[in-house]
Amino acid sequence: MSVARLKKMSLVGPATHKADTLEALQDLGCMHVLPLVPPPNEPEKISERGAREAYKALRFLTEVPEPRRQIQRDPDFDMDRFVYEVTDLMQRTRDTMDRRDFLVHRIAQVRPWGDLDFPPTDVLAGNRLWFYQLPLKHREALSEVKLPWAILEEDHRFLYAVLISPDEPDDDILPISRTHVGSLPIHELEAQLEEAEIALEALEAERVAQTRYLTLMRQNLSVAESAAELAHATQKVRDAEAMFALQGWVPKDRIDAVLDMAHSKGSAALIEEPGPDDTPPTLLEQPENRSAAVDLALFYQVPGYQDWDPSVIVSASFAIFFAMIVADAGYGAVILLGLLAFWKRMDGTAGLRSWRRFGLIISGATILYGVMVGSYFGASPSAGSIWAKLKVLDLNNFGAMMMVSIVVGVLHLVLANALAARAAWGQRKAIANLGWIAALIGGFTLWLSYMNGKSPVPGTSTLIVGVVAIVLFSSERIIRKPTDWIWRLIEGFQSLAGAMGAFGDVLSYMRLFALGLASASLAITFNDLAVSVMHALKGPGILFGLLILITGHVLNFALAMMSGVVHGLRLNYIEFFKWGLPDEGIVFRPFARKEVQE
């Protein structure tokens, strides 16, 4: 697997062939289209990628608990028209629900004053009614009001008073703000509420009726997605008089296919290599059976176009880290059994089959490492057995396990810098990456020399060589005047600040030992507790012991899975990417038709 090499291709042709050219380009599905015009100023006119409205409509219908019998064939089914009808129904339902909720709230506000029929304004000589929900403790405030007022209702908490005035009273006329009750009596509001409820029932019946087309809708989602993709790409095309211009990135091995299409549509083509100011998108080339590794690598960050493909390294190191954190062959067997239980269900697509294969790798690595540390659901193999002979690591040997974790960390970061140096070979930063490799190895060797009482010369020499390379080659400053040499040296010394980061990153791998020890210790604790209960309570002790054993291992298994995933990915995404892939790229998104969904 590798990052595909791209070329920038520009197409210019007659406006009359614009639609045909775009459709043919969409059929090829190999161009990452670049915008040649700015997007419209009005947000509602911007065509987004993906059939968002279609998916909203689908979700709206799938939420119906009991859909109708499905229509399998309908030659007159129009996906665009149906999506429009469903979205219109969604909006009408939302508006009616808002109206219903408003009426319920307004009725609750008006009810304390009773079912009042508001008189016309001329009957009150231009005066109007102003309503106040006054707490009982403020009853005396009414006596100070000079406007005409009356108490219509009273309960154990409030007085429901009304003031008469042509204009709205001042805010401080009473200790509380007035209540907005509108101009309609309760019986009129209740009539409108009943109408809204009936309308909602009718809309719901219409929604249920539309669920007959769910199967056809799912089958035609690709049509809606392709149409949205075409509209999105069309907005990036530049139109000038009777011509159009289109530009995008195309993989080198698909250039000829695009050229043939352009010539057949009467378009001219210009092909360019990526320039120093270009930022090509990143397209990872890999077989379908390795798509799980690519998904894992791209989940956090897309590598830059000039970088390298991290998918194999990330997937392999994640499997190792996961196994070291879980640290139990029994738990690895449980993962394998769970995978086998869903084996046939994961046979639908190449992507699922790839994840199924990756699951085998993870479970196999977990079982293997569990055998190496001699942990089987927290139990150790009996002395003299073949399983005891396969135990080569002791989790309780803290010194040895810490050493293993640090060695893994140093090797992982050395590998990251080596791959970064290879990708940047020919540039100054490649030498700086080699310097970091020397510094990591030198520092580790120096620490080993100190621990074992040996000569520090080899480690010190390697460390010094690495530091010199970092100082001299970290800066990319171009030399234009003598003072640039000084600034390059200063920037080189500034890069040494990463030494503390490198030290901390190496120590981060200690979590492999700590979490593995925690998982094994919890398993042993639950085993001992279950055995103690069985011995202490004859008869029911067996039942209680089994409950403790099952509950404890289920809990420990869940914690181990969570820790293995989170920290296994963290060491790749944070520590490894920091040194191996410092730059983030743009994912290659081909302008293509969507596959028909069965």
Give residue 597's pLDDT band: very low, low, confident or very high (50, 70, 90): very low
What is the structure's pLDDT at 13?
92
Check whether 51 has a pLDDT greater than 80: no
Share of the chain above pLDDT 70, in %: 97
| Domain finish residue from 285, 307, 324 | 285
* Cα dist from 275 to 31, 272, 279, 554, whole Å: 18, 8, 8, 56
Share of the chain above pLDDT 90, in %: 38
Structure token pair of residue 305: 């176009």
Asked whether residue 210 falls in the same domain as residue 271, the answer is no
pTM above 0.85, yes or no: no
Mean pLDDT (whole number) for 188-214: 93
Give residue 46's pLDDT band: very low, low, confident or very high (50, 70, 90): low
Q: Can you tell me which residue has the tokens 């995978």?
A: 339
What is the structure's pLDDT at 418?
93
What is the structure's pLDDT at 47?
56
Asked whether residue 561 falls in the same domain as residue 447, the answer is yes
CATH number at residue 266: 3.30.70.240
Asked whether residue 555 falls in the same domain as residue 428, the answer is yes
pLDDT, one tens digit per residue, over 525-545 is 999 898 888 888 777 878 888
Asked whether residue 160 falls in the same domain as residue 24, the answer is no
| Domain finish residue from 257, 285, 313 | 285
pLDDT, one tens digit per residue, over 278-288 is 889 998 877 77
What is the structure's pLDDT at 456?
84
What is the structure's pLDDT at 76?
86
- Confirm whether 346 is domain-assigned: yes
Is the distance from CB of 100 to CB of 197 less than 8 angstroms?
A: yes
What is the structure's pLDDT at 147?
86
**Pick from 280, 315, 192, 226: nearest CA to 234:** 226
Q: Which amino acid is at 598?
A: E
Give residue 49's pLDDT band: very low, low, confident or very high (50, 70, 90): low
* Mean per-residue pLDDT over the chain, rounded: 87
| Domain finish residue from 157, 182, 207 | 182
Asked whether residue 229 falls in the same domain as residue 240, the answer is no
Check whether 598 has a pLDDT greater than 50: no
- Confirm whether 272 is domain-assigned: yes
249: left (phi over 0), alpha (psi -120 to 50) or beta: beta
Question: How far is C-alpha 144 from the chain's CA centre?
Answer: 62
Distance between CA atoms of residues 374 and 156, nearest Å: 73
- Confirm whether 500 is domain-assigned: yes
Query: Angle CA(432)–CA(2)–CA(502) in degrees, nearest 5?
Result: 30
- Confirm whether 17 is domain-assigned: yes
- What are the phi and psi torsion angles at 352 (to 5°)? -65, -40
What is the structure's pLDDT at 317?
94
| CA-CA-CA-CA dihedral for 312, 315, 321, 327, to nearest 10 | -120
Bridge partner list, 246: 11
DSSP 156: S
Burial of 93 (0-12, 13-18, 19+ CB in 10 A): middle
pLDDT, one tens digit per residue, over 211-259 is 999 888 888 888 778 888 888 888 899 988 889 999 999 999 999 999 9
Distance between CA atoms of residues 69 and 84, nearest Å: 22
Check whether 289 has a pLDDT greater than 90: no
Asked whether residue 436 falls in the same domain as residue 446, the answer is yes
Check whether 43 has a pLDDT greater than 60: no
pLDDT, one tens digit per residue, over 345-382 is 888 788 888 899 999 999 999 999 999 999 999 888 88
**Pick from 252, 224, 209, 181: nearest CA to 81:** 224
Q: Can you tell me which residue has the tokens 């070329």?
A: 7
What is the structure's pLDDT at 127?
82
Asked whether residue 468 falls in the same domain as residue 565, the answer is yes
- Confirm whether 590 is domain-assigned: no
Q: Which amino acid is at 12?
A: V
Asked whether residue 294 falls in the same domain as residue 202, the answer is no
Asked whether residue 24 falls in the same domain as residue 129, the answer is no
Longest dimension (CA), the chain: 108
Tally of CB atoms within 10 A around 348: 10
- Confirm whether 512 is domain-assigned: yes
Helices 510-536 and 398-423: crossing angle in degrees, nearest 10, is 150
What is the structure's pLDDT at 538?
74
pLDDT, one tens digit per residue, over 256-280 is 999 999 999 989 999 999 988 888 9
Domain of 9? 1-37+236-285
Q: Can you tell me which residue has the tokens 């994912």?
A: 587
Strands 238-240 and 268-272, by their bridges, are unpaired
Structurally, how many domains does the chain consist of?
4
* Cα dist from 194 to 92, 189, 191, 364, 467, whole Å: 17, 9, 5, 64, 80
Asked whether residue 351 falls in the same domain as residue 228, the answer is no
126: left (phi over 0), alpha (psi -120 to 50) or beta: left
- Confirm whether 595 is domain-assigned: no
CB under 8 A, 24+ apart: contacts of 96-104 = 96/196, 96/199, 96/200, 96/203, 97/200, 99/196, 100/193, 100/196, 100/197, 100/200, 103/189, 103/192, 103/193, 103/196, 104/193
| CA-CA-CA-CA dihedral for 442, 446, 447, 451, to nearest 10 | 150
Asked whether residue 455 falls in the same domain as residue 317, the answer is yes
What is the structure's pLDDT at 450?
85
Is the distance from CB of 467 to CB of 445 less than 8 angstroms?
A: no
pLDDT, one tens digit per residue, over 321-339 is 999 999 999 999 999 999 9
Distance between CA atoms of residues 387 and 336, nearest Å: 19
What is the structure's pLDDT at 117?
74
Asked whether residue 173 falls in the same domain as residue 196, the answer is no
pLDDT, one tens digit per residue, over 428-454 is 888 988 998 999 999 999 888 888 888
Query: What radius of gyration, in Å, describes the C-alpha atoms of the chain?
Result: 36
**Pick from 257, 235, 395, 404: nearest CA to 327:** 395
- Confirm whether 319 is domain-assigned: yes
